[in-house]
Structure 1
Amino acid sequence: MAKTGITLTRRGLGAMLAVGLLAGGLAGCGNSDTGGDSDSGSSGGNSKLVIGFSQVGAESGWRTANTNSIKEAATTAGYELKFDDAQGKQENQIKAIRNFIQQKVDVIAFSPVVESGWDTVLKEAKDAKIPVILTDRAVDSADKSLYKTFIGSDFVKEGKLAGEWLVKEKSAATGPVNIVELQGTTGAAPANDRKKGFAEAIAANPNLKVVASQSGDFTRAGGKQVMEQFLRANPKIDVLFAHNDDMGLGALEAITAAGKTPGKDITIITVDAVKDGMQALADGKFNFIAECSPLLGPQLMDLAKKVKAGEEVPARVETEETTFTQEQAKTALPNRKY
């Protein structure tokens, strides 16, 4: 009896080992190397769309709202989002894109820190047959086949809208109107384009002169620091054009500390229309805002689905935006989502 018992035990162990090996083989086929669930796109062979998204960072209220919109839209659509924060550094973003390629995601989307220097990594994505979508910011690659589409704003138009409002506002000026400009991150598409659009618009009035222009890196701290420098170097400043609300809000602190009244002593024009900026406009501290909507998430998810399916999409998808004066800001604020 004891001998039979030993034989049965060995058979049982053999069966258990066989089951264990089979289960291990199945698990190895189904799971991705990144620790995600087995229901993932290219990496798992199933139907869930997997999107790798690299964000510029979290430098402003606009950027935070943009990130939240994309994350919420991915959840609503039932897609897997592999999110990366580049912390404002191009090298981090290139590394993230290469990681997405290695993970064999279905679609790569990113908001480029700067315009230049992307051709090599985008060629790698193209060779891996992973479509790329640019969000919010463009790149200056001559080879347009390196990405499928761009979704975002017309930054040149935003700069023009700001300049055109100023031309009308100062139409009665008989002498020089001194303007200081808080630029966004050096080399970034919105900084380049908003500067260009604004300059083209104010050229209609020779009295409007930009006497100082410097990057505040799209941050409140940068806006405050650079505005302090502007105020020390330029005794007469009539207008501030800030490339985003956050820099304008930082500049408010510097202007107030210098004993001047923002919105009255210095006319302030910004871009974005986030809640804090809209509140400053409603309070009369800002004078005009050109909107730049961060709520790109739902449109991005729709485009990702289409490019993965091989459908034709427009080369450029622009968001619908407007402008705000003080009274318009007061009306819009109660229902503002960002």
Structure 2
Amino acid sequence: MAQDVDTTRRGLLFGAAAIGTGALLTACTSNEPSGKSGGKAQQAAVTDEKPGKRVTIGFAGPQADHGWLNAITVNAKERAKKYADVTLEATEGSNDTAAQIGQVETLINKKVDVLVILPADGKALTQVGLKAMRSGIPVVNLDRVFNTPQAYRCWIGGDNYGMGLSAGHYIGEKLKGKKNAKVVELAGLDTLELTQQRTKGFDDALKNYPNIKKVARQAAEFTVESGQSKMSQLLQAQRNFDALWNHDDDQGVGALRAVKQAGRDGFLMVGGAGALSAFQEIKKGDGVLKATVLYPPTMAASAIDLARALGQGKGIGGMAEFEIPSSITLYSAVVDKDNVDRYMPTGFQ
């Protein structure tokens, strides 16, 4: 009997849920006679905050050696505490792929109900994601994506291309009345695809503003030290420019140090991610940092919500479907002085 249950769970995870759709629709219809709904959406069972079926969620992420990564873990743990029916089994974060694979395998052996995984390396952890799914444990893949959709039931993450796009349009609108405007870019690690996507989004946005030219670009390493060093080089090479797009608020702390040490102003700076320090600087309004583009670590809290919904076999509020989506890409909103108070509670340290 246990084997039959496991087989059924695997079938549902890999797309056989359609077999039971008729039964679900019949169970959730209104008072209309069976078969006469006309294809109209019925009220699906959705998760809410009321205690329901108990769910054990395994959580595995990288080492929290960066403000954003630490915020991911904090958001996941705090969200889990919100639900009386959720038990969170969190591993100690690791950037070693072999160690993280071992941690996920331990969670699989514990037979958790759902897994939330932010892989240190999506490609390297794809096989263990597949192993979980084939064991009947649905996986919520957080941000860094596995190589195949078969390794997860749902992916949720940020929009790196959208970050660059939002930054480019914000700067473009601020400078659209200025002739021969110049912008510079302080990127992240160029070996990472996410850095390349952020740059592409930025460049594509600037194509809409023929008066603006990107005159320089430096790649840093997402650290305060690298941000300060590379920004100093940019400032030395470019005596005049009108705007700076910085990919990461952590390295932005160093970039702002370099700007102050050089005594430079006369340009606007747009950051990336949504650090509390950036929000506070924007709110003060007396420096070059005027906005930051979100890459919200609150995605980890949402991942817990999705995992709970999966564990309870429910959909999510605001959607007519009985199942949660297979992919959710978060929007890269711009935070400036006009809306910074709203986002301040989400800022990470």
Instruction: Compute the TM-score of the two structures, normalised by the length of structure 1.
Output: 0.73
Which residue number corresponds to residue 72 of structure 2? 66
1:245-276 Cα offsets, whole Å, 9 max, x none, are 22212210112122223xx3x42111223321
Q: Structure 1 161/327 Cα, relative in aligned 2: closer, same or farther at 3 Å?
A: same
Residue pair 1:57, 1:86 contacting (<8 A) in 2 also: yes
How many percent of aligned residue pairs carry the same amino acid?
Answer: 24
CA distance in 2, matches of 1:48, 1:238: 55
Name 2:16's counterpart in structure 1: none
Contact 1:180–1:237 at 8 Å: present in 2 too? no
Change (3 A) 1:54 1:222: farther
Secondary structure of the 2:185 match is strand
Residue 60 of structure 1: how far off its partner (Å): 3.7
Instruction: Report the AA paired with residue 87 of structure 2.
Output: E
**Residues 1:187 and 2:196 aligned together:** no
| TM alignment of 1:257-272, pairs within 5 A | 257-261=261-265, 264=266, 266-272=267-273
Q: 1:298 to 1:287 in 2, by over 3 A?
A: closer
Cα deviations by residue, 1:124-152 (Å, 9 ceiling, x for unpaired): 222322211122x14252x3121011223
Choose between structure 1 and 2: higher helix proportion.
1
Q: Could you tell me which of 297, 300, 303 is aligned with 1:300?
A: 303
Partner of 1:204: 208
TM-score with structure 2 setting the length: 0.71
Match of 2:282 in 1: 281
Confirm or deny: 8 A CA contact 2:172 2:206 kept in the other structure. Answer: yes
Give the structure 1 partner of residue 333 of structure 2. Answer: 322
What is the SS of the residue equivalent to 1:104?
A: coil
1:336: which partner in 2? Answer: 345
Question: C-alpha deviations, 1:19-50, integer Å up to 9, x for none?
Answer: xxxxxxxxxxxxxxxxxxxxxxxxxxxx7422
Conserved 8 A contact 2:116-2:141: yes
Structure 1: state its 5+ residue gaps: 1-46
Q: Shift of residue 161 of structure 1?
A: 1.0
Identify if the C-alpha distance between structure 1 residues 115 and 260 changes in structure 2 by more than 3 Å, giving closer, same or farther.
Answer: farther
How many angstroms apart in 2 are the aligned matches of 1:107 and 1:180? Answer: 40
Distance verdict in 2 for CA 1:140–1:120, change over 3 Å: closer
Equivalent-residue separation in structure 2 for 1:214 and 1:160 (angstroms): 18
Partner of 1:76 in structure 2? 82
CA distance in 2, matches of 1:203, 1:89: 40
Determine helix, strand or coil for the equivalent of 2:177: coil
- In the alignment, the residues of structure 2 paired with residue 91 and residue 236 of structure 1 have an alpha-carbon distance, to the nearest angstrom, of 47
CA distance in 2, matches of 1:97, 1:70: 16
Partners in 2 of 1:225 and 1:103 — Cα distance? 46
What per-residue deviation string (whole Å, max 9, x for no partner) do you get for residues 149-208 of structure 1? 12233332222111011112222333351412222584264x343222212111223432
Change in Cα spacing, 1:296 to 1:99, as seen in structure 2 (3 Å) is same
Check the 8 A contact 1:134/1:147 in 2, yes or no: yes
**Is 2:186–2:230's contact at 8 Å kept on the other side of the alignment?**
no
Q: Residues 49 and 140 of structure 1: is their aligned pair in 2 closer, same or farther, counting only changes over 3 Å? A: closer
Aligned with 2:58: secondary structure?
Answer: strand
Q: In structure 2, how many angstroms separate the alpha carbons of the residues matched to 1:202 and 1:291?
A: 19
Rate the CA distance shift 1:269–1:114 in 2: closer, same or farther, 3 A: farther
Aligned to 1:171: 176
- Cα–Cα, structure 1 residues 210 and 116, in superposed 2: closer, same or farther, change >3 Å? farther
| Deviation, structure 1 residue 297 | 4.8
Q: Which has the higher contact order (CA 8 A, sep 6+)?
A: 2
| Structure 1 residues 179 and 269: CA distance shift in structure 2, 3 A | same
Name the CA shift for 1:90/1:314 in 2 (closer, same or farther; >3 Å). same
CA-CA distance at 1:85 after TM superposition: 4.3
Q: Distance in 1 between matches of 2:271 and 2:254?
A: 12
> Does the CA contact (< 8 Å) of 2:95 and 2:120 recur in 1?
yes
Alignment partners' CA distance in 2, 1:314 and 1:139 = 15
In structure 2, what residue type is equivalent to 1:122?
A: G
- State how 1:102-117 maps to structure 2 within 5 Å: 102-117=109-124
Q: Which amino acid aligns with 2:336?
A: T
Report the AA paired with residue 145 of structure 2: V
CA shift for structure 1 position 73: 1.5
CA contact (8 A) 2:188 2:220 kept: yes
Which residue of 155, 160, 167 maps to 1:155?
A: 160
Cα distance change of structure 1 residues 103 and 114 upon mapping to structure 2, 3 Å threshold? same
